[in-house]
Amino acid sequence: MLPTPDTSHVSYNRVYEPAEDSFLLLDTLSLPSETTFLQTRFSKDALPPPLVLEVGPGSGVVIGFLTANATPLFGHDHILTFAIDVNRFACSATGLTVKKATAETGAGSSGVFLDAVQGDLTNPCRPGQVDVLVFNPPYVPTDELPAPLTKEGNEKPTFEEESKLLELAYAGGKDGMETTERLLDALPETLSARGVAYVLLCAGNRPEEVKDRIRSWAGGSWKAETVGTSGRQAGWERLSIVRVWRDDDQ
């Protein structure tokens, strides 16, 4: 078992607390099937070093895990990681989580963490740069999607504003897919040619239909497969993780 980052410094009034979905991502990315996939695709000799992005890191537990355990997961420590979250408090929490996690595993195991920046999904990304993208979306089907954040976050949020930050972390609108659809739409532009995305879905998101849609994308042979402990029971949510990538005749 690789160490799980410590997030005890995070204020869960404002930032999503690591839960079943977060831990499913850690478990899945540590499976031999996935470490073999990553190590083959991003071996040390396969220049340049991969750029890893987590969208919506919340506490930073997942990107902290990937950064601190670069060597066991990718086979080497030449990886760059960063994160984008709509919630400013999540950005500062993530920075600290990664710092603590990499201090614990130390040099030789850790990659280089760049930054957590505040933004809406992959909007600030320069096209074609991201090699590994991880997304634990707001996937719960809800009647309405909270209005997106637009201006700068408050230094001292009110109780209502804190509630909205947490709502943004789980409320997914129709089929729980409204935010995930926007992320998927941006994948062909965001990912590099060798890029791969891991997206968490719940049963309400209709994962089979989502995968079929991805496979029909234009401009390349897109693949989408459920990986690892698919459909693990987590209450009513029944979570799974879909790997999305382009296959260039490997």
Partner 1 sequence: MKVLTLNFLTCAVKACKSSSDSFPLHPKDAELVHDDVEVNAQLLTNLLHRLDWKALRTTATELGFPDLPETAPTQEDLENDEKTLKDLHNLLIETQMMEGKLVCGHCGHEYAVREGIANFLLPTHLV
Q: Which of 155, 220, 161, 160 is nearest to 191 (CA)?
A: 220
Task: Kindly tell me which of 28 and 190 has the beta carbon lying closer to partner 1.
Answer: 190
17 torsion bin: left (phi>0), alpha (psi -120 to 50), beta (else): beta
Placement of tokens 């919630």 in the chain: 87
Q: How far is the CB of 111 from partner 1 (least distance, A)?
A: 9
Cα–Cα distance, 69 to 66 (Å, whole number): 5
Q: Closest separation between CB of residue 153 and partner 1, Å?
A: 8
Give the nearest distance from C-beta 143 to partner 1 in angstroms.
22
Question: What is the contact surface with partner 1 in residues (CB under 8 A)?
Answer: 47-49, 51, 77-78, 80, 82, 84, 86, 88, 91-92, 95, 107, 112, 114-120, 123-127, 129, 148-153, 189
Judged by beta carbon, residue 186 or residue 227, the one nearer partner 1 is: 186
- 203 phi and psi angles, rounded to 5 deg: -60, -35
Please, what is the minimum distance in Å from the beta carbon of residue 102 to partner 1?
11
- Residue closer to partner 1 by CB (options 169, 224) is 169
Closer residue to partner 1, CB minimum distance, 95 or 231: 95
Please name the amino acid found at residue 67: T
- The DSSP annotation for 188-237 comes to HHHEEEEEEEEEEEEGGG-HHHHHHHHHT-SSS-EEEEEEEEEEE--TTS
Residue number with CB closer to partner 1 (19 or 149): 149
Longest dimension (CA), the chain: 53
* Beta carbon of residue 64, minimum distance to partner 1 (angstroms, whole number): 17
